Amino acid sequence: MTVLESTGRPRVGVLGGGSWGTVLAHVAATSGNAVSLWVRDPETAAAITATRRNAKYLPDLEIHPGVAATSDLASIGRDCGVILVVVPSHALRETMARLGDHLDGSHILIHAIKGIEPDSFKRMSQIMQEETCCKKIGVLSGPNLAKEVAQGHPSATVVASGYQEVIEAGSEIFRSKTFRVYGNSDVVGTEMGGSLKNILAIASGMAEGLGFGDNTKALLLTRGLAEIMRLGVGLGADPMTFSGLSGIGDLMATCFSPLSRNYQVGNRLAKGETLEAIQAHMRQVAEGVRTTRTVARYARTHGIYMPITEGIYRILYEAATPKEALSGLLDVSRNPYEGDAAKRAAGIP
């Protein structure tokens, strides 16, 4: 008996019809699963059913016939034993509160959201625990650019959970020749790595837009990884997690690819566009914009040294220019890490 069969419900549910949610639904169906893809708009669900395309986000992908689009949230809880949650971070609590009425303790929930709740600083898995009765919860995160996964490029991801059954479910659902799933038990590290790397992707896009080379971007990434570890370890993460797919792997993919929405934001800011104009013309959320504000304010309040995050915050929210903010961060004539008690306490160089 498979993990999916043991839930008593035969389908996989995917909440969220953006590019990543659509691709995950497609991959799960390609791997032999019956999949329900939930989208908010009934017209969008009907269009996907009729055309086998998500015209708004992935017009070139012919969605596998095993994916059935629906706008009926209750049917996801009723019919699906494993549910992948891929809505924007700001919509998670409301979506889980609605879905919670249709869940019981047998459901497995796995989210693929890279964000942190602003006021509470809670991770997505914590919100899911608060808004539903489910305990079998996990996170899927890794160097996964939706377009490349959709094209069948060899890719891998991580499913992290305190429950082995959740890890097995993720591996079972996405079992294929081109998409590999690794498991670990470090939910905190996997979630924080996935969320915080978006801040660095904005910085990397800015560096590219300002004409800096790979040396500069490598400096940003390595010192940025130290910031991610400093905060993550302080919250209870295993430092080794950040050397894996959901840490440095995700960081590399997001910070070097123009396909990354956060990279695009940074690049366009460096070329003189306003944040308001960029966001108005983006079809999907660049989570790093909200995450920068959330993390910078948390770091200030708790005395955590995160200079790159602070610099990006100044650019996004305090009218600093990318050139002046990044130039200050990249001043190698001084050692900005002297006296960093939080770093030493975490054992990070």
Is there a contact between 128 and 86 (Cβ–Cβ < 8 Å)? Answer: no
DSSP 8-state symbol, 248 = I
Are the C-beta atoms of 13 and 84 separated by less than 8 Å? yes
State phi, psi for 319 to the nearest 5 degrees. Answer: 65, 15
Burial class (CB in 10 A: 0-12, 13-18, 19+), 50: exposed
Chain Cα centroid distance, residue 34: 24
Alpha carbons 203 and 132: distance in angstroms, whole number: 36
Three-state DSSP state, 37: strand
Tokens coding 78: 């009723």
Question: Among the options 197, 271, 323, 343, which is catalytic?
Answer: 197
The Cα–Cα gap between 202 and 187 comes to: 24
Beta bridge partners, 85, equal: 15, 111
The span from the CA of 213 to the CA of 211, in Å, is: 6
Residue 197 annotated to the active site: yes
The residues, ordered by sequence, that sit 6+ positions from 75 with a Cβ below 8 Å of its Cβ are: 36
Half-sphere exposure of 76 (CA within 13 A, CB side): 27
265/289 Cα distance (integer angstroms): 8
**3-class DSSP assignment, residue 215:** helix
**Rounded Cα gap, residues 157 and 159, in angstroms:** 7
In 3D, which of 35, 27, 66, 1 has the Cα closest to residue 157? 27
Radius of gyration of the chain (CA): 20
Active site residues per annotation = 197
